[in-house]
Amino acid sequence: MPENQRTKLLIARKVPAAVAQRAVAEFHAFVTDADMDAWSVVDFCKQHAVPAVLVGKKSGLQAEHIAALPDCVKIIANASAGVDHLDVAAARERGIVVTNAPDALTECTADLSMLLVLAACRRASEYERIMRGGWGKSFGMTDMLGTRVNGKTLGIVGFGRIGRAVARRALGFGMRVIYTDINRAAPSVENGATWYASFEEMLPHCEVLTLHVPGGGAPLMTKKEFGRLPKGAVFINAARGGLVDEDALYDALTSGHLFGAGLDVYRNEPNVDKRFASLDNVFLTPHMASATVETRDQMGFTALDNVAAVLDGRPALNRV
C-alpha cells in the first residue's frame, strides 16, 4: 500500500461521526465500532505498525501495555481532559507523546456544574418525580422548600479553566465566589473572587462547594472536610469520583449536615453506590459533563489536531 494510503491512526474508542470522518480522510484511520481494551490496542499496533492511537477509558494504556507497544507508536492521543487512565510517565520513558483535550470540555463542564448547583439547591430531582407521578395535590407555603442560590457563597476547589468558567456563571446568579488553589490566580482572571491559601480555612465559608481538580490519590473530601462545611451547605462534584469518601458524603447527607448534593461522578463508575439513588436530597447525572454534540466533536477534533502535529514533526498542541 502506498505510504499516503497507509493506516496512520487507530481510533480505539467510539467517536462522533464527524470525528470519524475526518480521521479516515486525513489519516486513513481504522475506527472501531466498539471500545477496544488495552491489549487489543497493543495487538493492532503490532500488526499494522500505526504511529498514533486515540484511546479512551476502556483502552487506557498502563505501564505493561506501553512497554509492549511497537517502536512505531509516536503518540497516544486522549480526547478528554483527564489522563488518569493512562500511565503518562511510562509513555514518556519510551518517548511516546501523550496528549489531552483540556480546553474542549471547559464550557460544557461549567454549564453542567451550574446545573448541579441549581438542581441540588432547588430540589429539582424531587420536583421532577412529583410531576412524573402526576402531581395530584397542592403544596402550601411551607412545603418542599429549596434553598436560594442568589446571594450564596460558592467555594471553588481548583481555579483552572473549569473553575474560572464556573465562577463566571456563578456571578450571573448573584453568588459570592471564593476559591482555593496551589497559587493565587492573576487579578485579571480572579474577577472579584477571593483566594484562600488553605482549603481547610475556606471550607467553613462555603455555602455551596464545588470541586474542579484532578483525581488520583487519597480522597479530598472525607468526614473531616464535610464536617468543616457549614450546616445546610450544598456539595457539588463534576470532577472525579475518587475525590470523595462516599461513606462520609452519605453520612453528611443523611444526618442533615448537608442540605443536598449534585453529583456527576462516582468512585465506582458505572456501578454507582445505590444508597445515593435512594436519597431525595441528591441530584444525580451519569458522568455527562461533556455530553453535548459540540463538545464531543471538539474533543475528538482536538485529539486529531494533536495527532497531525506530532506526525508532521511539530510539537503537540496539548502535551501532558
Per-residue pLDDT, 3: 61
Residue 184 and residue 241 share a domain: yes
Q: Count Cα atoms within 13 angstroms, Cβ side, for 184.
A: 12
Could you tell me the pLDDT band of residue 302, with boundaries at 50, 70 and 90? very high
Residue 262 and residue 167 share a domain: yes
Pairing of strands 97-99, 153-157: unpaired
Q: pTM of the full predicted structure? A: 0.92
Question: Residue 87: inside a domain, yes or no?
Answer: yes
Q: What is the mean pLDDT of residues 281-298?
A: 97
Give SS3 for 208: strand
Q: Which residues contact 236 (CB under 8 A, 6 or more apart)?
A: 113, 116, 117, 120, 208, 209, 210, 211, 261, 262, 263
Q: What's the pLDDT tens digit per position in 164-221?
A: 999 999 999 999 999 999 999 999 999 999 999 999 999 999 999 999 998 888 999 9
**Closest residue by Cα to residue 53 from 90, 27, 33, 16:** 27
Q: What is the mean pLDDT of the chain?
A: 96
CATH code at position 42:
3.40.50.720
User: Distance (Å, rounded) from C-alpha 61 to C-alpha 67?
Assistant: 10
Q: Are the C-beta atoms of residues 308 and 52 closer than 8 Å to each other?
A: no
Per-residue pLDDT, 4: 65
Q: Count Cα atoms within 13 angstroms, Cβ side, for 31.
A: 18
Q: State percent of the chain over pLDDT 90.
A: 94
Per-residue pLDDT, 160: 95
Residue 110 and residue 81 share a domain: no
Residue 236 and residue 116 share a domain: yes
Residue 81 and residue 126 share a domain: no
Which grid cell is 274?
445505590
Could you tell me the pLDDT band of residue 6, with boundaries at 50, 70 and 90? confident
The domain in which residue 16 lies consists of 3-104+293-311
Per-residue pLDDT, 81: 86
Residue 182 and residue 118 share a domain: yes
Q: Which residues contact 169 (CB under 8 A, 6 or more apart)?
A: 110, 111, 113, 114
Could you tell me the pLDDT band of residue 40, with boundaries at 50, 70 and 90? very high
Per-residue pLDDT, 2: 57
Q: Which residues are catalytic?
A: 240, 269, 287
